[in-house]
Amino acid sequence: MQSTLCEHRKARHALAPDLWIYAGEPAKGLAAVFFVAAFAGSRAWGPGFGGCRDWSVVANPTVGPDVDAQNLACGMRRKAVLMGYAPNLDGGKSVVVVEREQQPTPIESLTEDERRAVLYWMADRLNELNGGDRPVYILAEDMGIKPADMAIMAERTPWVAGLPGLSGDPSPWTARGCVAALEAVAQQMPDFSLERARFGVVGLGSTGFGSSQSPGMVRLLAQRYPAATFVGWDSDQEYFRRVLSTGLVACCQDVFTADIDALLLCGPSGMLMPETVERLSSSVRLIGGSANVQCSDPLVDAQLLARGIVRLPEELANGAGARIVGAEAFLTRCYMVGIRDDGGTYDPAGRMTFVAERFDLQEVGAETLAYIGQQSALRFREVLGARTGRTSLPVHTIQSARVSIARLSPAIDVSPKEF
C-alpha cells in the first residue's frame, strides 16, 4: 500500500482546525494512519504546534483518533494564547495509529528497523504537509512517543521539536508547572492546605508519577508535603505494580469516589464527564493535573461551580512543557526561514547548532514556572471576585498576559505573516 493523503477536512469556521489524514504501509506487515489537526486558516499566526500521540497507548473510548486530534488541537490553541507563545505558534496535535494484522501495535514494541520505518514515514508526511509557502504543523512528543523518536524523525524533517540536547522530554517541566499552579491556588484558599491533603491520581505515568531522576507530580508533592497521602490507578498493570512498590501511592480502582481533597488527572483526555462529577466525594475541593482537554461538556464546569470545586484551567496549569518545547519549535522555524531565504537545504546538525546557541533550557524553564504560578493565582482571584461580586480585583486579559518567546532570538525578525 502506497502512502497517500486520504483526506483533508477543511475547518468549517475559524475556531476549528483543519484535519489531514495520511495512510500507508511504513514496513512490511505494518499499516499506519497519521491524523494531523492544525489551525491553518490565518496567515497572521504561525504554524500549528503540538505533540503526537500513539493511539494504541492512549485510545480514547469516547471519540475516534480524528476527533481526538481535533479536540486536542483546540486545547493547544488555547494553551498557545494562555502560555504566551501565540501568535508565533498556533494550536496543533496529531495521532498515529499503527496496526499489525489489524491490531493496534505500540510503536515502542516494534523492532528497531520497524520503529525507524514508521518514524521516517511520519517525517516524510510532515515534509509533504509543510512543503508549501508556509509551514502548517510542527510535531513534538506526547503519550507513547519519546524524545528519542524526535531525534530519529529529525534525520528526515526539520518540523519536529523536543530533541534530546535541546528542550528534550517536557514531562518533568509539565509536572513542575502543574505543582506550581496547585500551590499558587491552594495558598489563596483559606480553608484548604496541601500540607496534609489527600490526593487521588488518575494516570501515574511520566507526569503523574515519574521517576527519581525525573519526578512527576506525586513525587514532587510528596517531597514538598511529607504528610500528604496519595491513592491512584493506572491502566498499565505491570507498571502500576512498580509504582505501588515505592510505597508512595495506595491502590484505588475508583479514584473518583475516593475520600480525597484534591483530584489529579494525569491520563488521557475526556476523563471529566457529568456522570463522573456526580460520583466525586463531597470532600473534593480542587482538581488539577497534566491531562489535556479534561472535559468537553460545558455542563461539567457548571457542576463543579455549584459544588464549590476549583478546577485549574489545564491549558495554563500543564503548559510548562509546551511553552519550553515551543521555544525550540519557534527557533527551528527561524532556522528554516534563514534556510529558505539563503536557498539552502535542511541540515540536522546545523539546526541543532542554531537552536542551541539561542536556547537556555534552565532560564526558559524558570521563567515559565514563575509565569504559571503568577497567572494561576491571578485567575483564581478573578473567579473569586466574580463569585463574590468584588469588582476591585485586578482584571486580567489574555492579551495583557501575552509574553512572546520571540525575545529568545532578538536578532532575528520573523513575523508570522512572512512565512
Question: What is the reported pLDDT for 269?
Answer: 79
Q: What is the pLDDT of residue 415?
A: 35
> Does 262 have pLDDT greater than 60?
yes
pLDDT bin (cut points 50, 70, 90) of residue 11 is confident
Q: What are 160's strand-pairing partners?
A: 139
Question: Which tens digits make up the pLDDT trace of 365-390?
Answer: 999 999 999 999 988 887 665 544 43
Residues 6+ positions from 265 with CB-CB distance below 8 Å: 202, 203, 271, 272, 287, 288, 289, 290, 291, 294
* pLDDT over threshold 80, residue 24: yes
Q: What is the pLDDT at residue 392?
A: 31
pLDDT, tens digit (0-9, with 9 covering 90-100), for 105-151: 999 999 999 999 999 999 999 999 998 778 999 999 998 999 999 99
**pLDDT confidence of residue 385:** 53
DSSP 318-350: T-HHHHHHHHHHHHHHHHHHHHHHHT----HHH
Q: Tell which residue, 392, 373, 360, has the closest CA to residue 177.
A: 373
DSSP string covering 31-80:
EEEEEEEE--S-TTS--EEEEEEEHHHH--TTS-HHHHHHHHHHHHHHHH
pLDDT (tens digit, 9 = 90+) per residue, 52-88?
999 998 766 678 899 999 989 998 998 998 888 888 9
Q: Which helix (H) or strand (E) holds 114?
A: helix 112-129
Q: Of residues 408 and 45, which shows the higher confidence score?
A: 45
Return d(Cα 148, Cα 143) in angstroms, integer. 13
Residue 62: the pLDDT is 73
Task: List, in order, residues 6 or more apart from 352 with CB less than 8 Å away.
Answer: 163, 165, 166
Lowest mean per-residue pLDDT among 59-73, 185-199, 252-266, 334-348: 59-73
Longest dimension (CA), the chain: 65
Closest by CA to 283, choosing from 303, 259, 264, 302, is: 259
C-alpha to C-alpha distance for 210 and 218, rounded to whole angstroms: 8
Query: In whole numbers, what is the pLDDT of the chain averaged over residues?
Result: 87
Is the pLDDT at 94 greater than 60? The verdict is: yes
pLDDT exceeding 90 applies to what percent of the chain? 68
The pLDDT > 70 percentage for the chain reads 89
Asked if 173 and 368 touch (Cβ cutoff 8 Å), the reply is yes
pLDDT at 413 over 50: no
CB distance 336 to 135 below 8 Å: yes
Q: What mean pLDDT is predicted for residues 190-217? A: 94
pLDDT at 237 over 80: yes
Task: Tell me: pLDDT of 408 over 60.
Answer: no
**Spatial separation of the C-alpha atoms in residues 166 and 161, rounded to whole Å:** 9
Domains, the chain, with CATH or none: 4-154 (3.40.50.10860), 165-419 (3.40.50.720)
